[in-house]
């Protein structure tokens, strides 16, 4: 169970293969799709692929990524890649940051400096954190995945072991979004004595039944959530249906085609970000190309899809490991963003968690840590400052 420090170094042959495939893309016809009603619009995608092929520099991105400290460990046969950045302050708190799909550890990149070295960014050194940012099993550099059955409870157990048994933290904070929010809730629920507090962008935790949430559960100020869920349904139903039922069939196409991988990832970024249809207004082209490159170069797009199958096959809602209430008894904070696609009213969160902070954020969508890094940094520092 020893850790290995390493640098990311994609073989040149893989980069040459990527370039060749981008040059030889066989484009689908695209008729009457200027508003993206049929999916990703071809002209936009062609321009992005041209940028990825001609202007984007993976080696430059790789050098930036390698400024972080990368480690690998294998737990129960499952390879885990994680970034571990020590804080600079009198008593840095350990913080586990958890991504979802289609994210990578790089979604937290802009938060790393301010959270580990706040003094260098105009903040208080007392707010420093030790950051641990894993790639979920089967995502990015947590490969190759050879073990099936990794749902939220099993993955949460591996991440808890990473923090306690591998890294030796007796107590730690945890934060995340998307599946990272579900994992954060699972860890806080199952190991409350080890968790300082939990912050997430979606209230997700064991026993939560999203289908049971009724209009009456929303306050008058939360009626917008009902409208937003209806609005966002078209942008989430396709990937959930495929990835929770037969992800392997799609995996063959995406692992083979970098353009297919990019289109599948970037459409979700556009649909779920607070960008008014202009994805490049919140995510620059290099960020989007790095996202697609990590998934394609590591051949992890297929295994990342499987997380949905495992999650839904294990049964919803997630069964609790104990009967005590609230389900999450450690201090809990939620940052709610206007363009989030999964919304839970405050009354439900208050019923099941030790809710200490509920912030309605002015901007941001499903990828808030990457979309609004300064605001999320401030919320993390403010909330965990109050946790004992």
pLDDT at 315: 85
Q: In what order do the strands lie in the sheet with 93-98?
A: 4-6, 70-75, 78-85, 129-135, 93-98, 172-176, 195-200, 328-336, 353-360
pLDDT above 90 for 127:
yes
∠ CA 339-343-345, nearest 5°, is: 130
- The helix, strand and coil proportions of the chain, stated in percent and rounded to the nearest 5, come to 50, 15, 35
Kind of pairing between the strands at 129-135 and 78-85: antiparallel
The phi and psi torsions of 266 (rounded to 5 degrees) equal: -70, -30
User: In a 3-state reduction of DSSP, which class is residue 41?
Assistant: coil
Q: What is the pTM of this model?
A: 0.97
Structure tokens at 326: 């609230």
Residues 6+ positions from 189 with CB-CB distance below 8 Å? 205, 206, 320, 321, 322, 327, 328
Would you tell me how many other CB atoms lie within 10 Å of the CB of residue 91? Answer: 8
Residues 6+ positions from 102 with CB-CB distance below 8 Å? 264, 265, 268, 269, 291, 295, 304
Cross-strand pairs, 195: 172
pLDDT tens for each residue of 217-270 = 999 999 999 999 999 988 899 999 999 999 999 999 999 999 999 999 999 999
Q: Which stretch of DSSP H or E encloses residue 335?
A: strand 328-336
CA dist 229 and 359 (Å) reads 19
Asked whether the beta carbons of 87 and 131 are under 8 A apart, the reply is yes
Cross-strand pairs, 333: 199, 357
pLDDT tens for each residue of 286-338 = 999 999 999 999 999 999 999 999 999 988 899 999 999 999 999 999 999 99
CA dist 157 and 190 (Å) reads 9
Mean pLDDT in residue range 95-123: 98
* 349-352 long-range contacts, CB within 8 A, separation 24+: 349/203, 351/326, 352/205, 352/207, 352/208, 352/325, 352/326, 352/327, 352/328
Would you tell me how many other CB atoms lie within 10 Å of the CB of residue 283? Answer: 19
Q: Please report, for residues 146, 187, 271, 358, 362, the alpha-carbon distance to residue 237 in angstroms, rounded to integers and kept in the order given.
A: 28, 27, 12, 28, 26
pLDDT at 316: 84
pLDDT at 235: 86
pLDDT at 132: 99
Percentage of residues in the chain with pLDDT exceeding 70? 100
Cross-strand pairs, 198: 174, 332
Domains of the chain: 4-25+35-385 (3.40.50.1820)
pLDDT tens for each residue of 165-188 = 999 999 999 999 999 999 999 999
Q: Any idea which of 129-143, 186-200, 226-240, 354-368 has the lowest mean pLDDT?
A: 226-240
Kind of pairing between the strands at 328-336 and 195-200: parallel
pLDDT at 298: 98
Give alpha helix (H) positions in the chain: 12-23, 42-54, 58-65, 109-116, 152-161, 179-190, 223-232, 237-245, 247-256, 258-272, 285-297, 301-313, 346-352, 368-371, 373-385
pLDDT at 339: 97
pLDDT at 30: 98
Average pLDDT of the residues of the chain: 97
Structure tokens at 142: 């947590």
pLDDT at 2: 86
Q: Using CB atoms within 10 A of its CB, is residue 1 exposed (0-12), middle (13-18) or buried (19+)? A: exposed
pLDDT at 388: 86
pLDDT above 90 for 18:
yes
pLDDT above 90 for 372:
yes
Residue 37 per-residue DSSP state: T
pLDDT at 52: 98
Mean pLDDT in residue range 341-345: 97
């Amino acid at each position: 169970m020893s850790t290995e420090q390493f640098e990311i170094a994609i073989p040149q042959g893989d980069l040459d293969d990527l370039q060749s495939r981008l040059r030889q893309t066989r484009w689908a016809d695209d008729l009457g799709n200027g508003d993206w009603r049929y999916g990703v619009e071809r002209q936009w995608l062609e321009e992005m692929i041209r940028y990825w092929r001609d202007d984007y520099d993976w080696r430059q991105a790789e050098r930036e990524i390698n400024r972080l400290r990368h480690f690998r460990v294998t737990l129960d046969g499952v390879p885990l890649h994680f970034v571990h950045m020590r804080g600079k302050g009198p008593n840095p708190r350990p913080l586990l940051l958890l991504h979802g799909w289609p994210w990578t550890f790089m979604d937290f990149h802009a938060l790393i400096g301010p959270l580990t070295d706040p003094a260098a960014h105009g903040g208080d050194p007392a707010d420093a954190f030790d950051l641990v940012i894993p790639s979920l099993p089967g995502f990015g550099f947590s490969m190759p995945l050879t073990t099936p059955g990794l749902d939220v409870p099993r993955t949460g157990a591996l991440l808890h072991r990473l923090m306690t048994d591998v890294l030796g933290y007796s107590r730690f904070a945890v934060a995340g979004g998307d599946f990272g929010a579900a994992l954060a809730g699972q860890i806080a629920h199952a190991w409350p004595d080890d968790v300082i507090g939990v912050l997430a962008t979606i209230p997700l935790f064991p026993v939560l039944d999203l289908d049971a949430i009724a209009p009456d559960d929303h306050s008058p100020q939360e009626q917008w959530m009902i409208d937003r869920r209806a609005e966002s349904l078209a942008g989430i139903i396709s990937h959930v249906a495929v990835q929770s039922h037969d992800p392997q069939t799609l995996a063959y196409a995406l692992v083979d085609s970098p353009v297919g991988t990019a289109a599948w990832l970037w459409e979700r970024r556009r649909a779920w970000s607070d960008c008014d249809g202009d994805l490049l207004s919140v995510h620059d082209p290099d960020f989007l190309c790095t996202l697609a490159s990590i998934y394609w170069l590591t051949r992890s797009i297929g295994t990342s899809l499987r997380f949905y199958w495992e999650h839904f096959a294990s049964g919803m809602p997630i069964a609790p490991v104990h009967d005590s209430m609230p389900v999450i008894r450690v201090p809990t904070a939620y940052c709610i963003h206007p363009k989030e696609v999964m919304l839970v009213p405050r009354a439900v969160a208050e019923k099941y968690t030790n809710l200490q902070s509920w912030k309605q954020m002015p901007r941001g969508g499903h990828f808030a840590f990457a979309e609004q890094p300064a605001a999320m940094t401030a919320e993390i520092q403010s909330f965990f400052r109050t946790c004992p």
